[in-house]
Structure 1
Amino acid sequence: MNNGTVRASGPGQQPPAWRDACRAEAHKQALAEEQTVWKTVPEQVVPFHHRWEHVQAVVKLAVWLAAETGADAEVAEAAAWLHDVCKGEANHGVRGAERARQLLAGTDFPVSKVPYVADAIARHAGLYRKPGAAPLTPLETAVLWDADKLTKVGIQALAYALSTASFQGMTLDERRQDMLDFTRTVLSRTVASMNTAPARALAAERYRDMVAFLETWQGEEAVIQDVSLEQSGARRSGNG
């Protein structure tokens, strides 16, 4: 859809109230999830604000994709802010869509656009789609799906993933192998599932960079993988 006037906020202009409301809700839910994942209390510093970092990246990508594709910018941005407000719950996309409807109803967001925001959120879940599946419609739903998945691919995505709680306690070798396996078996399908041309191009570029980085990392480890610290120590003690 693109049947409404986008009310952009430029220098000297007040941002729309709906943006502040969406951002505040997204931040509140992100912090709550992060404290649960990292097992912290409000007084403690969360080691990595993984959800908030993700949401902000999705918003930027959604706004960019909307400009590149002609999708409605307000729908794309609102959906991006709110797409994970129910993360951690069963059917978080559907639940998030319901929460978005409730939240936006109390703001200045155009009433006619709320169903498009809800549809995009309800259908954004999943890391890949069926091979050969037609692009999602309407365009705003495709934009949110692509923006969300683009955050999973690339060098920055690696830095993000390796900073999350799921990798705590793993060796560097285990982290590299886990990421390389995931990249080849899952993210390759994510890249093939992109809906829009700009997302397909960017995903392909990021995927190449990601694989190259992981293979370079693998090459560094290969140089010393046959070195035994026990044997090395034995030789030193024997010659001492």
Structure 2
Amino acid sequence: MNELEILKSAQEFIKNQFTGETTGHDYFHIERVVNSAKRIAKEENADESLVEMAAWLHDVGDYKLNDGIDKSEELITDFLNELEIPNEIIQKIIEIVSQVSFSKGNQPTSLEAKIVQDADRLDAIGAIGIARCFAYGGSKEREMWNPENPETSTIQHFYDKLLKLKDLMHTSSAKKIAEERHRYLEEFLERFYEEWNAKS
């Protein structure tokens, strides 16, 4: 298998696994992360093929989608072994994937890991990030907003995570994109509270 065929196999694998997923971690989320990661990798002179493969696989086995159990290393290894990928490359991909998640709090140890993490975080902010936030909240049966008990609401996730992401970007390419998307989060919240508190 050449590199193009391997990446095509990864794309088909992800499409089969994630099409129709309803928490905001669907195939199209992963495709957007791949496209962002490829663009950033080119601008940052990173290993583009490694970045693309890790981006395709970054949500495989994620604990959020597996009842709180992280199966990423196991499932990614099984898939890449089927493609006869050298173990050295498999370990690099697993290392990158293990450093992507916000909740795990792992710091990226390579440029490629920084890029995939940035690309994933960019998809969590801006208009699509807002839509994904409410999709995930709904899947967890969270209230949209409850001013009497804000900690349990989807809006609280803006403060717990989304509004922090702009300042956590690593690459200059991602930082530029994040600035605009962050402003949109702030504008959305301002409008949300304005409408919520409107008096008849």
Q: Does 2:8 correspond to 1:20?
A: yes
Q: What is aligned with 2:139?
A: 166
Distance 1:205 1:128 in 2: 26
Task: Name which of structure 1's ranges 206-215 and 110-119 shifts more when overlaid on structure 2.
Answer: 110-119
Alignment correspondent of 1:150: 122
Aligned counterpart, 2:101: 125
Q: Displacement of 1:170 after TM fit?
A: 4.4
Q: Give the TM-score of the pair, scaled to structure 1.
A: 0.66
* Consecutive aligned runs of 4 or more in structure 1 exceeding 4 Å deviation: 108-112, 127-130, 167-171
Please report how far the alpha carbon of residue 196 of structure 1 lies from its aligned counterpart in structure 2 after TM superposition.
1.7
Q: Quick check: 1:17–1:107 contact (8 Å CA) kept in 2?
A: no
CA RMSD between the two structures:
3.1
Match of 1:80 in 2: 55
CA shift, 1:103, in A, is 2.1
Are 1:193 and 2:165 an aligned pair?
Answer: no
Shift of 1:86: 0.8
Count of residues paired in the alignment:
191
| Residue 204 of structure 1, CA deviation | 2.6
Q: TM-score, normalised by structure 2?
A: 0.77
Tell me, which stretches of 5 or more residues in structure 2 are unaligned? Answer: none
State the alpha-carbon separation in 2 of the partners of residues 70 and 91 from structure 1. Answer: 34
Quick check: 1:136–1:195 contact (8 Å CA) kept in 2? Answer: no
User: Which amino acid is the alignment partner of residue 11 of structure 2?
Assistant: R
Q: CA deviation at 1:96?
A: 1.7
Change in 2 beyond 3 A, CA 1:122/1:110: same
- Percent sequence identity is 23
CA distance in 2, matches of 1:73, 1:109: 16
8 A Cα contact 1:26 1:84, kept in partner: no
Question: C-alpha separation between the residues in 2 aligned to 1:79 and 1:149?
Answer: 15
Once the two structures are superposed, residues 40-87 of structure 1 have per-residue CA deviations (whole angstroms, 9 ceiling, x without a partner) of xxxxxxxx8742222112111111111121111111111111111112
The residue type paired with residue 181 of structure 2 is: R
3-state SS, counterpart of residue 223 of structure 1:
coil
Q: CA deviation at 1:24?
A: 2.0
> 1:13-36: per-residue Cα shift (whole Å, max 9, x none)?
xxx11122211221222248x3xx
Which stretch has the larger CA shift, 70-79 or 96-105?
A: 96-105
Matches within 5 A, 1:1-240: 16-31=4-19, 34=21, 50-87=25-62, 88-89=65-66, 90=68, 92=70, 95-107=71-83, 112-127=88-103, 129=105, 136-164=108-136, 165-166=138-139, 170=143, 174=146, 178-224=153-199, 227=200
Provide the rounded CA distance (Å) in 2 between the counterparts of 1:75 and 1:105.
16
Q: Secondary structure at the match of 1:195?
A: coil
Unaligned 5+ segments in structure 1 are 1-5, 8-15, 39-47, 228-240
TM-fit CA distance, 1:160:
2.6
SS of the residue corresponding to residue 197 of structure 2 reads helix
What amino acid sits opposite 2:190 in the alignment?
E
